Amino acid sequence: MRCLNCNREIPDKAKMCGHCEAPVIEPPTPEEMEAARAFLDQLPADAAAELHQALLNSDTAEGFADSILVGNCPKCDGVNTGDCEDDPEIGELLVGRCYDCGQLWCTECLRLLQPKATTCPCWDEDIEDMMDEDEDTDEP
């Protein structure tokens, strides 16, 4: 059996990968694989090429996801980044962290954040926009 995160060989009954410490999960179903193929087939060629390059530059599935969802550091352009969802002091998926320079930022608007101020004003703006849209669709 192979780890879906790092693609290394692991024992069949393993619950955690001994290489990358990712939990062992079931591989995608044929239906999930077909849905992914259909999605990729609909991408413009330049977007597909960007995804392919991100995949080639990533050592693990988590690294691939981070390269897409978190991206490069807006301060130093570093690629060694991740989200702060599992950080006990931050606990926010929308906060990116650069492991090279230490910068935190909002992955939605790329605004630089401070360690003691890890919420972004754009999150409130998004909520206000959604509320405005709901009011526009309400009937009198």
Q: What is the pLDDT along the chain (140 residues), one digit of tens a residue?
A: 889 888 899 998 999 999 988 899 888 899 999 999 999 999 999 999 999 998 998 888 888 888 889 999 999 999 889 999 989 999 999 999 999 999 999 999 999 999 999 999 999 875 555 556 555 555 55
Nearest partner of 71 among 93, 98, 89, 49, judged by Cα? 98
- The reply to whether the predicted model has a pTM over 0.85 is no
Cα 61 to Cα 3: distance, rounded to the nearest angstrom: 10
Q: Which residues contact 105 (CB under 8 A, 6 or more apart)?
A: 73, 74, 75, 95, 96, 98, 111, 112, 113
- Please give the pLDDT value at position 63: 85
- Please give the pLDDT value at position 110: 96
- Please give the pLDDT value at position 126: 54
4, burial (CB in 10 Å: exposed 0-12, middle 13-18, buried 19+): middle
Q: Give the DSSP letter of residue 78.
A: -
User: Is residue 22 a contact partner of residue 62, using CB atoms and an 8 Å limit?
Assistant: yes
Cα 74 to Cα 96: distance, rounded to the nearest angstrom: 10
- Please give the pLDDT value at position 104: 97
* Count of beta carbons in the 10 Å neighbourhood of residue 13: 7
- Please give the pLDDT value at position 33: 93
